[in-house]
């Protein structure tokens, strides 16, 4: 396994962090790898594998121990997502959304009653989902039409959400809706919606190019009644909940892309040492060696950028620019490295019997979800040049 301890202090792993990273990867290699192709073909994660993730402790990493979680850091979440994605990015994003979006939002914005009601479940057995996107509000996240209307002692939600990760598995959803369209983003409010609520339905599951085992679903709200006690963060504060959580979630996607790129390179290195042409392994050809060296260098650069952003977040320092840079660069590296892996496999790289074509398909989403590459560039430019 690659060692990455000899790096600057800000991104160096402590012995405990290295042990945690390695143990998660060993679990993924042992328990997940045998099922990767089947999960991809059937577009489904087996329930028993999700149970194993809870038992491993990676579904409640930042949940305080008083609520049954691991009480660890955001950086530990990043390490877990990277290690899992090295084997299967679909599992990586399941764990990423659970930790960096859902649990992160509960930790920061939930009141004591909400934390007591949901954090123990999220630590033990309940998958969470984060419902922001709509057909007309992607990068323009607050151009949403899902409406929340006050009625009695609660709210009624009407509308439709699209592309919601973990939609099939989730028992609780953080849903964003507007209580006052004329107020623009100031009218957006976050709600805690349980799967059992009347008027709420998980709709179509998307048939995707990549990360196929990860469920991506539409959500339908037809007079869905939500108690007032399930407002998360306060009325009209949904934009703050969304922005601050997504800024951190981008670091998680960066970790997913780093893990994906490393997994693709691992496979390519193994293959080039075994594949012989012209009487010797293709790894002995300088042209192949240089391509592998460049790929490894780019992965390490992406890893350090993602780790740096996570360390800044944990230390309470500004990290918006660093998160955007890490997400932008790591997604580009993942696409380049997975494409190189397909090339190095030659014809075998184009068939499903070998792992690299899946890494190649999985990589594309990194430049799209949780903020497109163009949106990351815009964020970086604003941070450098000013608004």
Question: 269-314: per-residue pLDDT in tens?
Answer: 999 999 999 999 999 999 999 999 999 999 999 999 999 999 999 9
- Taking residue 168's Cβ as centre, other Cβ atoms within 10 Å add up to 17
pLDDT, tens digit (0-9, with 9 covering 90-100), for 7-57: 344 567 999 999 999 999 999 999 999 999 999 999 999 999 999 999 999
Average model confidence (pLDDT) across the chain: 95
Whole-number pLDDT of residue 184? 84
| Residue-wise DSSP of 245-287 | HHHHHHHHHHHHHHHHHHHHHHHHHHHHHH-EETTEEGGGSHH
Q: Which residues contact 285 (CB under 8 A, 6 or more apart)?
A: none
**Considering the domain 240-385 in this protein, what is its CATH number?**
1.20.140.10
Q: Which of 218, 248, 335, 370 is catalytic?
A: 370
pLDDT tens for 237-255 read 999 999 999 999 999 999 9
* Contact call for residues 173 and 219 (beta carbons, < 8 A): yes
Give the list of residues 6+ apart from residue 75 with CB closer than 8 angstroms, or none.
Answer: 17, 307, 310, 311, 314
pLDDT category at 137 given cuts 50, 70, 90 is confident
pLDDT score for 182: 86
Domain ranges of the chain: 15-127, 129-237, 240-385
Q: How far is CA 144 from the centre of its chain?
A: 22
Structure tokens at 238: 């949904």
Integer CA distances (angstroms), 286 to 92, 282, 289, 292, 300, in order:
34, 9, 5, 10, 21
Instruction: Count CA atoms closer than 13 A to 35's CA, side-chain side.
Output: 20
Look-up: residue for tokens 């089947």? 38
Q: Is 69 exposed, middle or buried (0-12, 13-18, 19+ CB in 10 A)?
A: buried
**Confidence class for position 177, pLDDT limits 50, 70, 90:** very high
CA distances to 132, 134, 135, 204, 301 from 145, rounded to whole Å, are 11, 8, 9, 19, 40
Give SS3 for 130.
Answer: strand
- Closest C-alpha among 294, 292, 295, 319 to residue 308: 319
Give the pLDDT confidence score for residue 26 in this predicted structure.
98
Identify whether the C-beta of residue 117 lies closer than 8 Å to the C-beta of residue 229: no
Q: Give the whole-number percent of the chain exceeding pLDDT 70.
A: 96
Query: What is the CATH T-level fold of the domain 129-237, as seen in this structure?
Result: Butyryl-CoA Dehydrogenase, subunit A; domain 2 (2.40.110)
**Any catalytic annotation for residue 370?**
yes
Q: What is the mean pLDDT of residues 93-106?
A: 98
As a CATH number, domain 15-127 is 1.10.540.10
149 CA to centre of own chain: 31
pLDDT at site 387? 67
């Amino acid at each position: 396994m690659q060692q990455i301890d000899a790096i600057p202090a800000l991104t160096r792993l402590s012995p405990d962090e290295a042990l945690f990273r390695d143990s998660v990867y060993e679990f993924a290699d042992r328990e997940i790898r045998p099922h990767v192709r089947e999960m991809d073909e059937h577009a489904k994660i087996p329930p028993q594998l999700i149970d194993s993730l809870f038992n491993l402790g990676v579904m409640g990493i930042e949940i305080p121990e008083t609520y049954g979680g691991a009480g660890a850091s955001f950086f530990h979440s990043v390490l877990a997502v990277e290690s899992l994605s090295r084997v299967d990015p679909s599992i990586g994003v399941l764990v990423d959304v659970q930790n960096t979006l859902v649990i992160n939002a509960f930790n920061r914005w939930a009141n004591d009653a909400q934390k007591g009601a949901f954090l123990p479940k999220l630590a033990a057995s309940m998958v969470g989902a984060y419902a922001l996107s709509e057909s007309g509000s992607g990068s323009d996240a607050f151009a949403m039409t899902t409406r929340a209307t006050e009625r009695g002692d609660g709210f009624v939600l009407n509308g439709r959400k699209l592309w919601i990760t973990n939609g099939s598995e989730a028992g609780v959803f953080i849903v964003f809706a507007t209580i006052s369209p004329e107020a623009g983003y100031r009218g957006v409010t976050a709600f805690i919606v349980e799967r059992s609520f009347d008027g709420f339905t998980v709709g179509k599951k998307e048939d995707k190019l990549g990360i196929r085992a990860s469920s991506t679903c539409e959500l339908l709200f037809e007079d869905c009644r939500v108690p007032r006690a399930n407002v998360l963060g306060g009325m009209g504060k949904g934009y703050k909940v969304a922005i601050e959580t997504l800024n951190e979630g981008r670091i998680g996607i960066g970790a997913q892309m780093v893990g994906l790129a490393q997994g693709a390179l691992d496979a390519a290195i193994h293959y080039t040492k075994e594949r012989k042409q012209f009487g010797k392994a293709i790894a002995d050809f300088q042209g192949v060696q240089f391509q592998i060296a460049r790929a490894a260098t780019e992965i390490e650069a992406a890893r350090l950028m993602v780790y740096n952003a996570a360390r800044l977040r944990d230390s309470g320092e500004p990290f918006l620019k660093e998160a955007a840079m890490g997400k932008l660069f790591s997604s580009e590296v993942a696409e380049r490295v997975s494409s190189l892996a397909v090339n190095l496999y030659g014809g075998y790289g184009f068939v499903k019997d070998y792992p690299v074509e899946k890494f190649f398909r999985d990589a594309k989403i990194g430049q799209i979800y949780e903020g497109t590459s163009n949106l990351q560039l815009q964020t970086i430019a604003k941070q450098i040049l000013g608004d």
